């Protein structure tokens, strides 16, 4: 876990080759990858309004602040709490990866 420094967000860009027909995908995580969940964002597509909620002050309405709360909690006892977070987030993340693969397959079929 992090001590004096902390990750505020993470991303991985999936940039397919020009002939693949698959869409580019940015996998975003609103916090540290070790306690967060990556979800897909697509260039040119609208961002879900829920993800746009937030500001400088903590808010339960803001997904970033909620993820920060999880990250801060896990940091207090990472050996015990990180596996609890992974147990809940990894299946959801795997489902999003599967869905993104289905969408990429559909996109290739359209060309």
pLDDT digits (tens, 9 = 90+) for 7-25: 788 999 999 888 888 889 9
pTM, two decimal places? 0.79
pLDDT value for 91: 95
| DSSP secondary structure letter of residue 14 | E
Judged against a pLDDT cut of 70, whether residue 27 lies above it is answered with yes
Judged against a pLDDT cut of 70, whether residue 1 lies above it is answered with no
Q: Strand, helix or coil at 52?
A: helix
Judged against a pLDDT cut of 70, whether residue 2 lies above it is answered with no
pLDDT digits (tens, 9 = 90+) for 63-81: 999 999 999 999 999 999 9
Please enumerate, as own/partner, the contacts of 25-28 that have beta carbons within 8 Å and a separation of 24 or more.
Answer: 25/100, 25/104
Mean pLDDT of the chain: 88
Q: Which residues pair with 13 in a beta bridge?
A: 26
Q: Strand, helix or coil at 97?
A: helix
**d(C-alpha 52, C-alpha 101), whole Å:** 25
Judged against a pLDDT cut of 80, whether residue 111 lies above it is answered with no
């Amino acid at each position: 876990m992090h001590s004096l420094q902390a990750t505020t967000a993470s991303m991985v860009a999936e940039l397919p080759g020009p002939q693949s027909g698959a869409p580019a995908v940015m996998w975003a995580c609103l916090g540290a990858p070790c306690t967060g969940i990556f979800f897909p964002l697509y260039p040119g597509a609208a961002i879900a309004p829920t993800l746009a909620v937030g500001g400088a002050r903590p808010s339960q309405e803001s997904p970033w602040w909620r993820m920060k709360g999880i990250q801060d909690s896990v940091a207090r006892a990472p050996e015990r709490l990180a596996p609890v977070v992974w147990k809940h987030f990894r299946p959801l993340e795997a489902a999003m990866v599967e869905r993104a693969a289905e969408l990429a397959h559909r996109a290739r079929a359209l060309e």
